[in-house]
Structures are given as structure tokens and as C-alpha cells.
Chain A
């Protein structure tokens, strides 16, 4: 067997070295990005949790009787528009008479909100002549287009006019 001559191709070596450096840099970049996202997500998750928590609290309050029982716009401590999941039209109307800022204060939330009802085919249900309640200028048709970083939509079920309907609550920054 004839002897072999090992020919070293310097070009290939150069490519491999460059490639290794590039991979190292890329890995480094990926690591930094990952670190950034993890840190970023920690913050965002906290905000989202607060938004979600407020949506849970507010929607649950709305599906209660509120406080005190038979509350009115003057003495209200908790806004509730339902009893046993049945929407109370009078309370809904009283709710509409509370100023937006005051209602946010009663809800104890820093977020904006808009709430309305739909049937099982997502048709808007008007109760007591009121389409929805929430941030002035917002209606059910445009609430999902609100310009914001974060928005939460919560669908809850309730009973109105002998039907099961959906209470839709939007909450956003």
C-alpha cells in the first residue's frame, strides 16, 4: 500500500474556525436574548396577572347582588347587577348612573373596562335601554379595537329573560 500524504487544506481550517466563532457568537446572542425574554416575561406576567385578577374580581362582583343589598349610586360599596346569576335590570340601570371614574374606584381597579351582554350568537342584548357600561367613548363594537398593550376579555354566563346569556367584560390598561 502506497503511503498517503496528508495534505492539510488550510482553507477548510480557516472556515471551520470562523464558523466556530460565529456559532459561539450566535450562541452568545441567543443566550442574551433568552435572558432578556425571561426577564421581560417576568415583568409582563406580573402585569397580566394583575389584569386577570381584576377581571376575575370585577366580573364576579358584577354577577353578585352588590353591597349593600339594594345599593344605590350613593351608598354603593360593591357593584353587583345579578342575584343567583339572574341579571337585575334595576341594578344594571343604577350601575349605568354611576360615573365611570367612581365605578372604577368602587371596583378598585386602575384599568379601564367595558361590559355588555350578548346572547348565544353573540348578538348584543340591551338591558333597560343600556347597551353597555364602561369607559366613555367605548362601545361593544369597538372595544376590541382599543389601542392598548394589554387587554383581557372575560365571558361570564348569566340568566336574563329566561335565557342563558353571556356577560362580556373587557379590561385594559
Chain B
């Protein structure tokens, strides 16, 4: 039994354990299986949102189309949900259900219920039965409510006609109209009733007004420039106005210098003509005219006109009298934009000139001029009181830009709002990088305004980020600058030296740009006429003539002369035995060519060359050894002459070869020595040089090295020079008093403490190097052979394996003329000479030089001096240069044995870099900076040395290449940055350091740099002539015009709309504001600019739509030379840039593109809006009865009108002004009253209760329409979407 009990227990336990294990393993596995889940809540919320967003007219659904066709469902902008509600409350319950069903089909899974309910009543349900979870989302819909009517009355009102509209006609003067009496055409619509006439003018003297040649009043002026004074014309003179064309004339009381510095003559009128004006439109193209003002005095017009579309054709008609025979001998010029279309320097009688479209089509860029305010200038050249000089030196500038992380700081003061997208509080701060982009582009634009200049770009962060080679492509430069943005980690550090380094590379990459003869050019030269000029070539041409026959002259490459690095050595001779690596840069005559062809005197017995045996120091085996063991004792060898080094003929003379003398112990207590000799043949010509005071300089390099690094005995290097008969030891007696000494001079020795090693080397085995040089002309007393012995000697204390090696290389004997002139000639070709405004000659000479170009002496230097680049910079008048072939000839005066010559001819270009940063330099350029790395930081430049590296690079650029350095500390740069940039600028000129924390300051800085760099002399220029003394009057007749054909952006106001001009108040300061009422269609916008005698430079606008300041006019876009350009008084603002609400305008004036003076506080905006003569249908109201309306108009008049016209009731309604504001009263249940009110609001654009259009009973018609089934605004009603699972 006991056994059975045990079995049962075990079995049950096993079952339990198995169950346990099974559950333990199975459940987690099941639970951890991936799970796909959906969120029921989204179906409800999303469904309610899309059904309340998708509109009936938008929905692409067959059932919606069916409803529209068969159930009078209008394709309206009602949402699906609203339409469901509408159908439902109207009794179309089935249609409502089907609409929901169709539109939601398939949008929820099959296992999800969906239902739509209105106020708890089911509209639709997919009848999914299971409902464990329910989600509901609700939406309110207005206009429907069970039990309420959903239809009412809606009315609309419109004007059939109007009696009058109030508007204004303008005659604009300026920017500058003078000098003398001025007139202008003024066009007044037909049937206009003049309300008032006034002038707003910038004049400095009083005047009499003539309307259509009728005296119309005298007006006095305060004489204040830039101020607009308002003058009102007495109503009694209004009768002088006529429909259509009028002429108003101002006759000044001054002396003839009078002018209008901007302004207008305005006639406010009422007219029943609601057309837009006198613009003629034919087949979609409009034709309009700009009428020139009449000027009776001296024609001096700076003005503008605007083409409001794509310009197709232009014709100019000029009617003037300019008497060139008397006082004014100046060119009368008409310039459109920057293009001169007429120059008259001859006429003496009245001219009527037509510049036809074919001429103007080929002359002007219509695309550029379209939709622009175009400056026009018509007047005499060169009689303004102050001239402007733009563009001195042409040049190249590398502009560096810091893109480090700190450049995203928003701290640059931009209260002038020059930067689009100001940041920071209070909205007048700009991000540093945005400012950098702005000033970089400004700099580019200003520099490139003068043709021939180029700009390169280098931007940097931790390293160089981007660079652009020097170019005059402004678009390319701007594109590159536009891509500038602050860098992120790890590139956001500041490596100023990276920018400087790259700038140097950019500036040096194309040094010969615009040079006809660059530095180091090939020349023909002649050294045969040292003391007299070359004779003519036999055909009568002397050496400076273009046609001179110089075919016998030698050819060489500059620089010529004796200076180190000269490419062509003339008047001097070298003998170079061999070269010690590295090779010398200059090709030289060597041992196997030139004067030493008679062979050297190296000789080892048995000597066969005579008189080689005479050179004294050759090794004499019999004299110094007893066992003929010369090969192991003392030997002469080449560096690679490991074998056969006793042979006399194995002295090699190729590159990297040198000769050695090895002194070894010979076991005898006697000095050991060896030498070789070089034979020089002093030719008669050479001796002539020497005998005429020339020099013969002998030089060689030597090297001494102990063979076993423990030299204990004396060692000598010796040399002798002479004619074989008289040999002169060279050097000096260096061993006097030493342990070892001899009686003769030596080049080098180690003879004092030989036990401690070479004296000069310091320790055992150190090699000694040196160069010996001596003027040996004193030893050259006749022509013939001379000898140089080079030898080595060791003391007799040498033991076996001891000794030293003496090596020699670069053995030179150079002879130079002391006196004697050299002549150079070169031909060069020159094209497009007109592209050059200045050409300069650059001369490198030792000593002085006469330079002839095309046989004309251009420069004659008279001072003795060493040569450097460049000794002379001389401007070359362009008239001395020929288009095509030219010739230049130079006489170089050589008054001593050293001379040099090089020359360059071309456009003088200044090179400069602008180093800009906002922070401390904390990264180096390294590790390998090449030759620029003058500070030894290569490879070891650490962060703390980064600033010094930037300074060193900049100083290198200035010192070696004359590169001007300008430095700009940007924004709130720290003290360390300022210090670095200040020192960087000081490499050139400490005054080239600038810093500013505001945008206008930085713009000024970059402008100053341009002017400093290019020596641009920007004088203050004013537009007025300074008229003194007697002068011959000239006349511009006001029938002159510019007619232009253009394709307008729009073809005038649409039917039912009328254009109305309104003026803003005067801006009252440098920044002006004007207001556009909501829902107003602006068709034209312009701002006035009273710039006086200066130019309207820049106009910008900002509003809530634009979000940042946008430029609408930039005069420099046409040219940087403002005296050539017209001056707008009216600057057009694209209507699309004007928004409802407040608009802000900034106007800047000045004499040049960098001048941003404040515009006049009297400037204002003139806006044309289209008034809508009809209002949309009113909302739904229960009544449509009408009213008797009392209405007031803008001109102060009022009227009473019944609406509808047959209204006979007693209701009274008002739309009037009360204490300056709108006062309105009408029935709020009457749809007709609402329609009229809505119309009146449109006609009262300034909301003052006075309508801009004046109408009478007959012209004002109310059309009342009843629309059925239009839902009221009942509710709101809750529509619910439920989803469940």
C-alpha cells in the first residue's frame, strides 16, 4: 500500500507541476507577441472634423452630385455636416442618411460602429452590433434648429449710376525741375466740378501761378529746402480750368536759379465719369505718356516715370530750345535710367526731336524698365556746382565672412530696418549673419558699380567653409553670399586665419589680371651699347620707334640683372663647377660651358694638361708618402666617386655633384694636403669689363666633416687665386697662435683645441658649412688664364682611420660691368582699350630707366637707387596707347656693377582684404601654411595662438604683396576679438580697423572701405545749377513727352467698381505710415519724396503681410553715379505689396548710393482704391420693407433717398457723420436696410460717415431678392459622431 500511495502523490504533483510550467511559459509568450492596435477615438474626432471641413462644392462624391442635381442642393461652400443638418431639418431625412453613408463609406474598419446624430436623433448608423467601447465627438452647426423656419429674405444693393465721384487730378513735379520757371500739363476729366485746387511744393522762392496762362495768384515761400509747403488756389480762379488738358505754370520771383524740388499741383473734383482716366487700351495693350514739365531758364530736370506693366514700345518726343552758341557749351543729355538716348551739343535753334521706337527698342532694356520707377535725366552736363569723382584705382578685394556659431546672435541694432526679417525685441534687432549678408552684398554692389573691380569671397568657421574666386559677376557673388549661414558643431569655431589665408590665395591667384605686360615677361635686350645709344636700324627707325628692327637683339625673361632671383643674368658671368644639393634656383654657366670650356686644372700625376702642373696644390704622391699608398691616405674624389677617386678626370659637373678632398693619416708625422685647381680664361671682353671698373667676384661653398668624429689634430681648408705666376692665398690667417698653425691664410681651420673637436662645430663630428666670397678683380691684371686652387690640409698627428673631408661646390666667378647701359624692347597687343579707365607703368630698376611707349617718353627716372617692386608707378595717358599693336622701349642706366630691370604695364589694381569677425579667434589654419607661415606656428599652432596666426598672415600679405588689410569687428564683438582685428588692421594701417553694433554703422564702414580702397572721391553733389552772370535762356516745352506702350497687369477696374484716390497724412518723420481699410482693393500706390536738390535713394515698405522691410525703389540699381540719373518725386509701390491695415514706409535721400539721409517729413502716400458700387447679398432677415435714408457725402453735401425707390413708409434711416465719426441708424430686421448699409460701408472707405461717391435718387437703385430655403442662423445645433467597437 505504501508503494501505491507514493505513486498517486507523485502523479498528481507531476500534473500540477506540468500545468504550472505550461502556464508559466505559455502566457508570457502569448502576451509578448506583437500587438497591432488602433485608436477608436481618432475615428470619431477625425470624422467630425473632416465632415465639418469638406464642402459640398468640393466633395468628389457621386451621391453629392446626385443631391445637387435632384434635390436642389446648391454646390455651395457649406460643409458636409452642415448639409446633413440642413437636409435633416428640412425633412429630407433619407437623403441626409444616405449622404452620411456614402461619404463615410469604408472610412472605418468593419469591426467599428459609426453613427451620426443630430440633437440625439440618429441620422445614420452602420448598425454594428457590438458596443464595448464608445467614443463620441460633437460639432456645433448654426442655422438649423428643429421647429424653426430656415428661410428668410436676403437683399442686395448696388448703384445703377452715380452723380459724381470725388477724386483728384495731379500734376507732379520732380524730383527736381529747374532752373527757372516751370510748367506742367494737368488733365481733368470731362464734366468735372472743381472742389478745390492746391499745390504741395518744395520751392525756395515765391512764385506767381498761371492756370492756362491766366494769372491765378501770387504765393510766397518760406524758402526751406526739403519742406513741402501747401498753397491753395483761390476758388475765383477755378474758372480757368477746363475739361481735359490744362497747363499750370509757376513763374518764380528769383534770379533764374529757381526750381521745384518735388511736389504736385492737385485739383480735387467731382465727376460723374467713373472711368479710370485717360489711359488708352488697345487690344490688351495700354498706351500712356509721361509729360515733361515745361522749363523756361536752363533745362535741368531730374524726374521719373513709371510703366505699370510689361513695356513693349517707347517713343520720345522732345521740343526744346538749347542755344549752344552762347553761354552754354555743354552737352544736353537725355538719359532714361542709366542709358543715354540723346546728346545734343550743337543745336542753336528750337528742336523737335522724335526718338522712335526702333531706336529706343535697340537702346533700352525694356524688361529691366518694366514695372519700375524709372529715373529720367534731361539737362546739361558738367555744370553742376560740384563734380563727383567715382572710381579711382581698380582693384580686387577678398571679403571674409565669419560664419561661426555666434553669428546667429540677434543683437545688431537695425532701427533703420534695413534687414528683412528683423529679430528680437522690440523688433529692431537683426541677426549678425543676416547683417553680414546684407553688408557683404552692399559692398559687392558698391564695388562692382565701378567696372573693372572684382570681389572674391572667403567664409569660415572652424575651417574655411567656402570661397569664390575674384569675379565681377554680382549675381554669382550674391548667390554665394545668400548661402551664408551660421555653422553648427563641429564647424562653429572661429578661424580668422583661415579667412585671411584664403583671401591671400584668392588675391594672388590672378595677379596679372588686366595687365598688357605682366611682371616677369619676355623682353628683347641689347648690352652692346653701354656708353652710347644704339644707332638707327638703317631704315631711319631709331631704337625707340615702333618699326625699329630689333631682330638681332637677344631674348630673355625678366627680371634681368644681377639681383638674386633674376631670371636673366646679363652683363655678368658665372662659373659653376658643381652644385651642392639643393640646386640653385638660377640657371648658371657651369664648368662645362661658357668661359671655362678650356678645361679645369685638376690634375693628378701624370698630368697631361699644360699648364695644369703649375697649379701648385695638386697632390704630390712623392712628396708626401713613402709607399705610394696615396689611395688610402689622401685622395680627391667626387661624392659618388667611391672608386677611382684618384683619377683626375672624374670630376663630375652635373647637378648635385660636389668635389671632396679626404685627408687621412699616413703614419708619418708630417702634414698631409691635397688640392685641385680650376682654370679660368679671362677673355678680352671680360678683361674689358674689369679694366673699366667692373668687378670679378669669386665665391664657393665649403663643407668640412671629421671622418671618425674625434678629430684631435689640426685641419685647414685653403684656397689660392692667381695667374699661375702669382698665386694669392685667399682668406685670412685664422690659425695664428693656435696649437697648430702655418704661415699662410686659410678659408677655415680647426687648429686650437682639436682634442675637443672642430672649433666651429662644437662637438665631435659636426660638419662645418660656409660660403666664401671675395672680389678678386685686383688679382686680374691681364687677359688670359687664371687659376683657383681649393685645398685641404691635415696635421701630421693623424693616425690611421683619422682625418677629415673637405668638400666644395657652387664655385662661381662672376664679372659685372661697373658702368654701361642696357636697352630693352617689347611689343604688345592691346584690345578693347575703351574698357580701361586708367593704365599705369610699373618699373623695377637699378638704377634709373627711361621708358618709351610708341616712341613717346612716358617716364624718365633720374635718381639712382636699388631695384624693388616697384620703384616707379606712373600713370600712362590712354591716348599714348594704340588699339592693336604697341611697342615699349626702355633705356636702363647702369652706373655700377649691380643692376636689375623688370617692368609691368596695365591697369593699376589695388588688392585688399576685409577681415571680418564677431568673436575671438580660437582655431588655427595650420598645420601646413606653406611660405605664409612666417611665425613658426606651422604644425604646432594651438588655440591660444590662433589670433596671432591671423595677425601674422595679414602682416605677411601686406608686407610681401602690398595687400591692404581692413578689419571689421562685427556686432558686439568681445575685447579679444577687437584686439585681434585691431592688430590685424595695423599690419597695414591702424585706421583700417572698424567696429559697429548697428546696421547703418556697418554699412557706413563697408562704404568707407570701398571709398578708401578705390580712392573714390564722393563729393557732395546737388542737382541745382549755380547760375551766375548772363546766360542764354533755353526752353523745354511742356508738350514734350515719353509715350510708352505696355501690357498692363490688369485692364482697369472691373465693372461696378470706381477708382478713388486718397492721400495719407504727411509722414511727419523719417518713417511714415498709411492705413488701408479692410476689404479695400488697392489698384495703385505711390509715395511722394521731397528730396530737394538731392536724390531719392531708397524706398522701403513694411506691413503685416510682408512681415519685413521690402525695397520698392533703389536708385543705385540704375547706377552708382547719381548725377547721371533722374530723381523720382513719385515712387511707385507695387499695389500687391500694400496690405489692408497699417503700412509703413521709409524713404532715404542722398547724393550717392551710400548716403541714406532721412526723407522729408512732408512725404506722404497717394493710394488709388477701387470702390465697389455693389454689395453682396445681406444675411437672412424676416423683413424686406425699405427705408428713407439720410446720407452725407465726402464733399460735405447730403441728400435723402428712398430705398427702394417706391418706398412710401415712414421708416427713417441715417448714414451720416457725427463729430467726425460714423452715425448710422436702420432696422436690424430689414434685409434691404442691411443691404444699403453694407453698400454704404464700402463707399465710406475712411469710416467717417461720409460717402466717397455722390449720388441722387435716380441713380441709386436697390434690387431686392428673396431666396428660399436659406437657413437662418438658428442654433447652434449639436451634431454628433459616434464610433464604437
Contact = CB atoms under 8 A, between A and B. Distances in A.
B24 A153 contact: no
A69 B32 CA distance: 42
B24 A36 contact: yes
A130 interface: no
A33 B54 contact: no
B828 interface: no
Interface stretch (A13-21, A89-97, A106-114): A13-21
Contacts of B1: 10-11
Contacts of B61: 163
B1078 interface: no
Contacts of A119: 106
A134 B39 CA distance: 20
Contacts of B4: 11, 14
B53 interface: yes
A123 to B, nearest CB: 10
Interface string B50-70: 100110001111000000000
B8 A150 contact: no
A82 to B, nearest CB: 10
B931 interface: no
B36 A153 contact: yes
A33 B20 contact: yes
B107 A162 contact: no
Contacts, number: 121
Nearest to A27: B16
Interface in A154-170: 154-159, 161-164, 166
Nearest to A122: B106
Contact of A152 (B23, B31, B37): B37
Nearest to B54: A159
Given A86-B53, A151-B35, A155-B38, A162 B12 contact: no
A154 B43 CA distance: 10
A148 B106 CA distance: 29
Nearest to A173: B34
A37 interface: yes
Contact of B46 (A25, A85, A86, A150): A85
A18 B8 contact: yes
A40 to B, nearest CB: 6
Interface in A135-151: 144, 148-151
B977 to A, nearest CB: 28
B17 interface: yes
Given A22-B13, A120-B105, A85 B20 contact: no
Contact of B43 (A41, A63, A157): A157
B290 to A, nearest CB: 40
Given A33-B23, A120-B106, A155 B5 contact: no
A30 interface: yes
A37 B35 CA distance: 17
Contacts of B13: 18, 21-22, 25
Contacts of A15: 8
Contacts of B8: 14-15, 18
A26 B106 contact: no
A63 B45 CA distance: 12
Nearest to B103: A164
B19 A29 contact: yes
Given A18-B9, A157-B47, A166 B107 contact: yes
Nearest to B485: A74
A147 to B, nearest CB: 8
Contact of B12 (A21, A33, A59, A163): A21
A99 interface: no
B1255 to A, nearest CB: 41
A163 B60 contact: yes
B39 A159 contact: no
B33 to A, nearest CB: 8
A26 B13 CA distance: 9
Contacts of A157: 42-43, 46-47, 49-50, 107
B361 interface: no
B426 interface: no
Contacts of B31: 37, 40-41, 44
Nearest to A19: B12
A121 B46 contact: no
Contacts of B38: 153-155
Contacts of A158: 46, 50
Interface in A117-136: 119-122
B27 interface: yes
Nearest to B46: A157
Nearest to A157: B46
B9 A21 contact: yes
Contacts of B16: 22, 25-26, 29
A149 B34 CA distance: 5
A120 B107 CA distance: 5
Given A14-B8, A153-B37, A59 B106 contact: no
Nearest to A84: B53
Contacts of A155: 38, 42-43, 109
Contacts of B9: 18, 21
B1054 interface: no
Contacts of B37: 48, 52, 152-153
Contacts of B1051: none
Contacts of A161: 60
B374 to A, nearest CB: 34
A144 B36 CA distance: 8
B15 interface: yes
Given A33-B23, A150-B35, A151-B36, A164 B107 contact: yes
Contacts of A14: 4-5, 8
Contacts of B27: 33, 37
Contacts of B17: 25, 29
A55 interface: yes
Given A18-B9, A26-B20, A164 B58 contact: no
Contacts of B23: 29-30, 33
Nearest to B55: A162
A105 interface: no
Interface string B485-512: 0000000000000000000000000000
A40 B28 contact: yes
A52 B39 contact: yes
Nearest to A59: B42
B683 interface: no
A161 to B, nearest CB: 7
Nearest to A41: B31
A134 B1243 CA distance: 55
A14 B8 CA distance: 8
A61 B808 CA distance: 84
A112 B54 CA distance: 32
B53 A85 contact: yes
Interface string A37-65: 10011001000100010011001000100
Contacts of A151: 34-36
Given A33-B24, A36-B24, A41-B31, A22 B107 contact: no
B1221 interface: no
B431 to A, nearest CB: 13
28 contacts: A19-B12, A21-B9, A22-B15, A25-B13, A25-B16, A29-B16, A29-B17, A33-B24, A37-B27, A37-B31, A40-B28, A41-B31, A55-B39, A144-B36, A148-B34, A149-B34, A151-B34, A151-B36, A153-B37, A153-B38, A155-B38, A155-B109, A156-B42, A157-B50, A157-B107, A158-B46, A163-B59, A163-B60
Given A37-B31, A157-B107, A161-B60, 15 more contacts: A14-B4, A15-B8, A18-B9, A18-B13, A25-B16, A25-B20, A29-B17, A29-B20, A29-B23, A33-B23, A122-B106, A151-B34, A152-B37, A155-B42, A164-B50
Interface of A: 10-11, 14-15, 18-19, 21-22, 25-26, 29-30, 32-33, 36-37, 40-41, 44, 48, 52, 55-56, 59, 63, 84-86, 119-122, 144, 148-159, 161-164, 166, 172
Q: Sorted from nearest, which 4 A-B pairs have the closest CB atoms?
A: A120-B106, A29-B20, A162-B60, A157-B46
